[in-house]
């Protein structure tokens, strides 16, 4: 048994002082008052810092100089995992932006090999494309975007990706109902993104698709006569949306408005890339963001801890809610909220430890 003690414990609903988290075999077995800590437990001194459920990043393309989304490999997954850990995320979905079928299949095999080698942290693969609307492609490669895919297009990679592809971002206006059903019947969570759908099209899509990818970015905007996908996200009672809280992808005041309207339906991703000069996706660091050659915003330099800090300090969201936006709500989005996202008995003993300046002091991740 291990005891995490001498810190502030955020359970997912409240911050507890003078409490200890007890774990055994990678699971939480108790949250007790400090004086009730078993004497035989091995103690980890939190040194007065905050312990919370580790963060979950469901959209990240690479890290530490390895762009997984362009050059998929076990090595790239290890580098991305290390990047995630340094930013407080114990779990992530490596993401492939619109690319060739060869790259998509290589990404699937890389995740399979990573798991076979005992690699930790990867919850599955996120395919962002290629079934998108070129009008909202952002930094995606236009010639690789596929419009109106057929069942046979999907089936080429679907069998190989079964159990590995967790999320797919698509534009609903370019995908038939049959394609949507086929993907969902194969256990893939769909997310609406890189889309120029109308308010009406998006609203209809959200009756069967429960997520939207990076709110405000690469989607038809909110207007007072044409409310677009953004308006549909705001108006829908249950759809959840990810958001990049770096101040570049979305102004902090816009995040404040979205949070007021959406509440618990809004959660955080990094959308992070890494420096890359080869292949179809060339990312160059410009200040604290990444751009492609023509200056188009192509990804963030965020960590999940920095996104949380921005929500607290720049947007004015409470610490507790900001932490949920980085842990519990992403867990709910991918169906892991019975395992991850809370510090409670029975949950995974995966934690982030933060100081008062949001510096990550440690991230704990146990094998699945």
Instruction: Residue 73: count other Cβ atoms within 10 Å of its Cβ.
Output: 16
C-alpha 30/C-alpha 233 separation (Å) is: 38
DSSP H or E run through 266: strand 266-269
Q: Strand order in 89-97's β-sheet?
A: 55-60, 89-97, 125-128, 165-170, 189-192, 211-212, 240-244, 266-269
Give the C-alpha separation, 311 to 356, whole Å: 15
- Strand bridging mode 27-33 / 19-24: antiparallel
- Written in H, E and C, the secondary structure of 140-185 is CCHHHCCCCCCHHHHHHHHHHHCCCEEEEEECHHHCCHHHHHHHHH
In order of 6, 146, 286, 338, the CA distances from 3 in angstroms are 10, 52, 43, 22
- Of 207, 155, 203, which Cα lies nearest the Cα of 179? 155
Using only C-alpha atoms, the chain has a radius of gyration, in whole angstroms, of: 20
Q: Which tokens belong to 184?
A: 């969902």
Which candidate, 68, 12, 6, places its Cα nearest to that of 344?
A: 12
- What kind and span of H or E run contains 76? helix 74-86
| Encoded tokens for 11 | 């359970």
What span, in angstroms and rounded, lies between the C-alpha atoms of 191 and 208? 10
C-alpha 228/C-alpha 183 separation (Å) is: 24
Active site residues: 271
Residue at token pair 């990706």: 161
């Amino acid at each position: 048994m291990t005891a995490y003690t001498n810190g502030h414990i955020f359970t997912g609903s409240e911050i507890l002082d003078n409490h200890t988290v007890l774990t055994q075999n990678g699971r939480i077995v108790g949250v007790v008052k400090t004086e009730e800590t078993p004497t035989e437990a091995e103690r980890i001194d939190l040194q007065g810092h905050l312990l919370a459920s580790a963060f979950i990043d469901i959209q990240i393309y690479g890290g530490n100089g390895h762009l997984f989304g362009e050059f998929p490999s076990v090595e790239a997954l290890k580098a991305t995992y290390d990047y995630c850990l340094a930013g407080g995320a114990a779990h992530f979905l490596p993401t492939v932006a619109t690319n060739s079928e060869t790259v998509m299949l290589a990404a699937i095999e890389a995740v399979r090999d990573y798991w076979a080698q005992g690699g930790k942290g990867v919850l599955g693969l996120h395919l962002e494309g290629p079934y998108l609307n070129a009008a909202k492609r952002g930094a995606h490669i236009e010639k690789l975007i596929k419009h109106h895919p057929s069942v046979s297009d999907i089936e080429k990679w679907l069998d190989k990706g079964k159990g590995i592809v967790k999320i797919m971002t698509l534009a609903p206006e370019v995908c038939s109902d049959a394609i949507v059903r086929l993907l969902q019947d194969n256990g893939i969570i769909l997310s609406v993104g890189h889309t120029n759908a109308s308010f009406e099209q998006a609203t209809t899509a959200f009756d069967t698709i429960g997520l939207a990818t990076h709110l405000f970015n690469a989607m038809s905007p909110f207007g007072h006569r044409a409310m677009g996908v953004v308006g549909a996200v705001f108006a829908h009672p249950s759809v959840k949306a990810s958001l990049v809280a770096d101040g570049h992808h979305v102004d902090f005041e816009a995040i404040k408005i979205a949070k007021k309207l959406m509440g618990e339906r809004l959660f955080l991703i990094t959308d992070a890339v890494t420096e890359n000069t080869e292949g179809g996706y060339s990312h160059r660091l410009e200040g604290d963001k990444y751009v492609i050659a023509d200056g188009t915003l192509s990804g963030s330099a965020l960590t999940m801890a920095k996104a949380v800090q921005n929500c607290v300090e720049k947007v004015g969201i409470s610490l507790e809610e900001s932490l949920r936006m980085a842990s519990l709500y992403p867990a709910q989005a991918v169906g892991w909220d019975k395992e991850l996202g809370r510090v409670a008995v029975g949950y995974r003993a995966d934690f982030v430890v933060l100081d008062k300046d949001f510096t990550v002091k440690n991230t704990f991740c146990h094998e699945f």
